[in-house]
Amino acid sequence: MEKKSNNDGLRVVLFPLPLQGCISPMLQLAKILHSKGFSITVIHTRFNAPKASSHPLFNFLQIEDGLSETEINEDPTSNVMSLLAQINRNAESPFLDCLQKLLLQSQERITCLIDDCGWLFTQSVSESLNLPRMVLCTFKATFLNAYPIIPLLRTKGYLPVSDSEAEDSVLEFPPLQKRDLLRVVGEDEEELGPFLRVTVETTMRSSGLIFMSCEELEKDSLSIANEIFKVPIFAVGPFHGYFSASSSSLFAQDETCVPWLDNQEDKSVIYVSLGSVVNISESEFLEIAYGLNNSKQPFLWVVRPGLVRGAEWIELLTEELVNSLGEKGKIVKWAPQQDVLAHRAIGGFLTHNGWNSTLESICEGVPMICLPGGWDQMLNSRFVSDIWKVGIHLEGRIDRNEIEKAVKMLMVESEGETIRERMNVLKDEIARSVKHGGSSSRSIETLANHILSL
């Protein structure tokens, strides 16, 4: 992106939530704004601190988050709702102190704070300091629009769900089905309602809302977001269309992935990754292993340490199964995902459908097998399979036969080729959005001018 100098002397402060799926887009947005001439300061928690050395052009300030070493070592991401609630309680005072000092000491004018919509106290802090606050939403606009609706799902009679109604549509939350709802609200329904209500209220008081999306993916939802939140809306994604997220990874990436892919045939490999937060059981892990093994397709499988509850890594696999899997595939602890998806050898992506992964797959034209874990992943997977029709939905069935069937269908059967053709059309539409004059590119210019006006 062409850098402009008219914003020199102006600084933007960014404050990501300490989750991989939130840190990467925030730092990508930082790169976009830096390319427009803004100086960047990133305030972050001690937990999941980004690697400052990977971003030498930015200033990083760390604050305490109140998490003990024991809590961090016990993998707090196994219960994300509880983690967010705890950090929101603990981080407000350290954040206020840090921001006050920064405002006093900065040699440049600090134009605004940009933070994740999952922070509940930042609007009040910014108002107390007379600093405009903008909100970054790291998931689909369609999902944020549902925040006022989600706490009402039970009172509207959508929950609990009977077997006979499982496939019924949720009229206020399309294209979800009733069976999706329990995994949207999760196990912390009582905590969830207040969290969502505060998020909506503080976003409505903000100076603007930024989405890592574009008009080509959800034009109607962006218009609805403007009606709900009544603040300026900026759809400037997909961010990695401008800058890679690889330097923002919290995990060590296995750099042998790409050389291994170099030795595979075009569109022959199924890439498997369930992201940075999802946890699965031992039985589910084994079903995926046998499904991949039985498909006979080459695969690259990311098994993140901590992915399988109660296991260190892949020790649950028998020696015989490990040897059999090794003949066709490669198992790694973490992969440089954007490089992998862009590789000519990748023909499909078995994914949890986090919004980052979904966007990256679309941008590289890689059709998906959808195995969502919960939260916004349910909505993303429905759009992939039912609206855009660029993937196959496993409907939550982690079953070896279903996985084998889906992999074969996507990789070698005619139905898979039809899905791939639709994906290529969608890929081209999104590619146009980030080019000069495209909807996302124009929105970035509008965002830069908006920040200047604050």
Token pair in block for residue 153? 């799902």
CA 306 from centre of chain:
19
Identify the CA nearest to 27 among candidates 38, 37, 17, 16.
Answer: 16
**pLDDT tens-digit profile of 114-166?**
999 999 999 999 999 999 999 999 999 999 999 999 999 988 989 989 889 99
Q: Which residues lie below 8 Å from residue 20, measured CB to CB, with a gap of 6+?
A: 48, 249, 250, 251, 275, 276, 277
Whether the predicted pLDDT of 274 surpasses 70: yes
- The conformation of residue 1, written as its DSSP 8-state character, comes to -
CA dihedral for 291, 296, 297, 300, sign (positive or negative): positive
Average pLDDT of span 176-186? 91
Identify the CA nearest to 35 among candidates 183, 189, 236.
Answer: 236
The DSSP secondary structure of 191-229, one letter per residue, reads: HHHHHHHHHHHHHHTSS-EEES--HHHHHHHHHHHHHHH
CB-based contact 257:330 (threshold 8 Å): yes
- Quote the pLDDT of residue 83: 83
**pLDDT tens-digit profile of 31-73?**
999 999 999 999 999 999 999 999 999 999 999 998 888 777 6
Q: CB burial class (10 A; 0-12, 13-18, 19+) of residue 379?
A: buried
The DSSP secondary structure of 365-405, one letter per residue, reads: T--EEE---STHHHHHHHIIIIIS--EEE-TT---HHHHHH
* 60 strand-pairing partners: 42
CA dihedral for 15, 17, 19, 23, sign (positive or negative): negative
Q: How confident is the model at residue 74 (pLDDT cuts 50, 70, 90)?
A: low
- Quote the pLDDT of residue 248: 74
Identify the CA nearest to 11 among candidates 113, 94, 88, 148.
Answer: 113
Q: What is the mean pLDDT of the chain?
A: 93
Q: Above pLDDT 90, what percent of the chain?
A: 83
Residues 404, 333: Cα–Cα separation, whole Å? 22
CA dihedral for 232, 235, 240, 243, sign (positive or negative): negative
- Quote the pLDDT of residue 268: 97
- Quote the pLDDT of residue 85: 87
Q: How confident is the model at residue 78 (pLDDT cuts 50, 70, 90)?
A: low
Whether the predicted pLDDT of 189 surpasses 90: no
Q: Which range is least confidently modeled, 210-224, 244-258, 264-278, 386-400?
A: 244-258
- Quote the pLDDT of residue 419: 98
CA 48 from centre of chain:
16
Strand order in the sheet with 346-351: 329-332, 299-302, 269-273, 346-351, 368-370, 391-393
Answer whether CATH 3.40.50.2000 is correct for domain 10-153+189-247+436-453: yes
CB-based contact 204:229 (threshold 8 Å): yes
Residue ranges covered by each domain of the chain: 10-153+189-247+436-453, 252-431
Distances in Å between the Cα of 140 and the Cα atoms of 217, 220, 378 are: 9, 12, 11
Reduced to 3 states (helix: H, G, I; strand: E, B; else coil), residue 406 is helix
Whether the predicted pLDDT of 277 surpasses 60: yes
Reduced to 3 states (helix: H, G, I; strand: E, B; else coil), residue 8 is coil
Max Cα distance, the chain (Å) = 64
**pLDDT tens-digit profile of 377-408?**
999 999 999 999 999 999 878 999 999 999 99
- The conformation of residue 265, written as its DSSP 8-state character, comes to P
- The conformation of residue 169, written as its DSSP 8-state character, comes to B
CATH topology identical between 10-153+189-247+436-453 and 252-431: yes
**pLDDT tens-digit profile of 192-234?**
899 999 999 999 999 999 999 999 999 999 999 999 999 999 9
**pLDDT tens-digit profile of 323-338?**
999 999 999 999 999 9
Identify the CA nearest to 370 among candidates 358, 353, 356.
Answer: 353
Question: What does the buried/exposed string (b/e) look like for 178-197 if buried means 16 or more CB atoms within 10 Å of the residue's CB?
Answer: bbbbbebbeeeeeebeebbe
In the chain, the N- to C-terminal Cα span, in Å, equals 23
Average pLDDT of span 404-431? 96
- CATH for the stretch 252-431: 3.40.50.2000
CA 393 from centre of chain:
19
State which amino acid sits at residue 374: G
427, containing H or E segment: helix 414-434
- Quote the pLDDT of residue 81: 79
Identify the CA nearest to 212 among candidates 335, 367, 30, 390.
Answer: 30
Q: Give pTM, 2 decimals.
A: 0.94
